[in-house]
Amino acid sequence: MNAADGILLGMFFATGAVVGSFANVCIHRLPRGASVVHPGSRCPVCEAPIAFYDNVPLVSWLVLGGRCRRCHAPIGVRYPLVEMLVALLFLAAGLLYGPTLVAASAALLGAGCVILAATDLEARTLPDEVTFGTLVLGLVLAALRDRAAAASGQGFAQSFARSHLLEALLGALLGALFLEGVRRAYAKLRGQEGMGGGDVKMLAMAGAFTGPAGVFLTLFFASLAGTAVAGGAALARALRWSIEARRARVSSSSAHAVAARAGLLVSEDGRVLAASARFREIPGAAADGTRLTANARAAGRLLAFVRLARARARRGVRSASGRLALDDGADFFRVLAARAEATPAGLLVLLARADVPFGVFLACGAIGAFVAGRSAWEVLAAGVPWVPRLFP
């Protein structure tokens, strides 16, 4: 790699960090229905405007120690993580494709997927501004690639037969129709929604970058990502809970500290002794010192689990559940994993989120299909004489 290549890749990284900073604005504001343009960046706690020198991607968070300069409120680690992730995706696009329209497509898809994965994790929403906006920009980039191909001297018939725009349009259409069909079939068979319309729009967005074959490869890679994430999360959770439970068994004060950090502590007479933010976010959650209650509709399964765990703990038996769905029928929805066992202070109930939304896996699948889709398709379709290009 010569100096020019290094400078070019540095520009990819820096551009990605700036785009990542804007991605954070989208992640914070779009689920709240706020403009991403006005007002300018400000602290969400004290609402003080953020000066330009405190808004330098990656650097400012480190310099400020992860806190607002004015009110010293903590700034979530999500901000530098998103900036770093988008910067690395831009850098990868530069390394793989060089200064080309393909690299621009890869970078755009990566940034859109990061925003959608984050909003789906935080707010369970996939904003139309991102899905539709990224889709349209993907079509524009495909059209620009066709224009570049035509300018290189290809005839109209040949250029149209290998049209990136045509494949992008077909990919977006197939993605929307296929997943919408699956969504409606599931709702008809089960009598309830299995996925939201945002997932349909997101797969259409992915199809605009990966083409018709890429739609199915996106779903294939998404399923692989789901298996890996679910398995890894379960293993990490089990390890973390084992450590926390061991700490809680040391003393009563240790049990209180663990519960305040990672779950819930219930006394013999059913009072809440300590609780973490995970329990506090449940509508109607009981305060410390009061009997364990919460919104019956939202927390019914959790309360039933605690009652059963208390009875089993008296016999020295530990209780665990990998999936407790909490839904108040309005704005609150969580799926929690729980583990309960006796401690010197009472029943410790460790809680953790267990619901990774489909949008996160679709994001992984879309990026995987764009980067490795052609190779995967050639392996899967080996020997089939009619294998089309199908990747824009």
Between CA 270 and CA 290 the distance in angstroms is: 8
Break the chain into its structural domains and give their ranges: 1-99, 247-353
Judge whether 337 and 323 are in contact, CB under 8 Å.
Answer: yes
In this prediction, residue 219 carries a pLDDT of 94
- Range 61-69 contact pairs with CB under 8 angstroms and sequence separation of 24 or more: 68/43
Tokens for 338? 């729980």
> How many Cβ atoms from other residues are within 10 Å of residue 72's Cβ?
13
Fold for domain 247-353? Beta-Lactamase (3.30.450)
Q: Could you tell me where the DSSP H helices lie in the chain?
A: 3-29, 59-63, 78-97, 101-123, 128-151, 156-161, 164-190, 197-248, 252-262, 277-280, 296-313, 358-380
Closest CA to 12 of 135, 103, 83: 103
In this prediction, residue 298 carries a pLDDT of 87
> How many Cβ atoms from other residues are within 10 Å of residue 11's Cβ?
14
In sequence order, the 6+-apart residues with CB closer than 8 A to the CB of 157 are none
Four-residue CA torsion sign, 166, 172, 173, 179: positive
Looking at residue 178, its amino acid is F
Question: What is the model's pTM?
Answer: 0.81
- Range 306-310 contact pairs with CB under 8 angstroms and sequence separation of 24 or more: 306/264, 306/266, 306/340, 306/347, 306/349, 309/340, 309/341, 309/347, 309/349, 310/266, 310/270, 310/340, 310/347
Tokens for 180? 């919408």
Between CA 177 and CA 166 the distance in angstroms is: 16
User: Taking the chain (392 residues) in consecutive chunks of 10 residues, what is each chunk's mean pLDDT?
Assistant: 83 95 94 86 81 86 87 87 96 94 96 96 90 96 88 56 85 93 83 77 95 91 89 88 92 93 92 92 90 89 92 90 83 87 93 87 94 80 57 56
Instruction: Give residue for tokens 């393909």.
Output: 102
Tokens for 60? 């400012």
Between CA 6 and CA 12 the distance in angstroms is: 10
In this prediction, residue 54 carries a pLDDT of 80
Sheet with 272-275, strands from edge to edge, namely 272-275, 263-266, 346-353, 333-343, 319-327
Between CA 116 and CA 122 the distance in angstroms is: 10
In this prediction, residue 154 carries a pLDDT of 57
- First vs last Cα of the chain: how many Å apart? 28
Judge whether 207 and 175 are in contact, CB under 8 Å.
Answer: yes
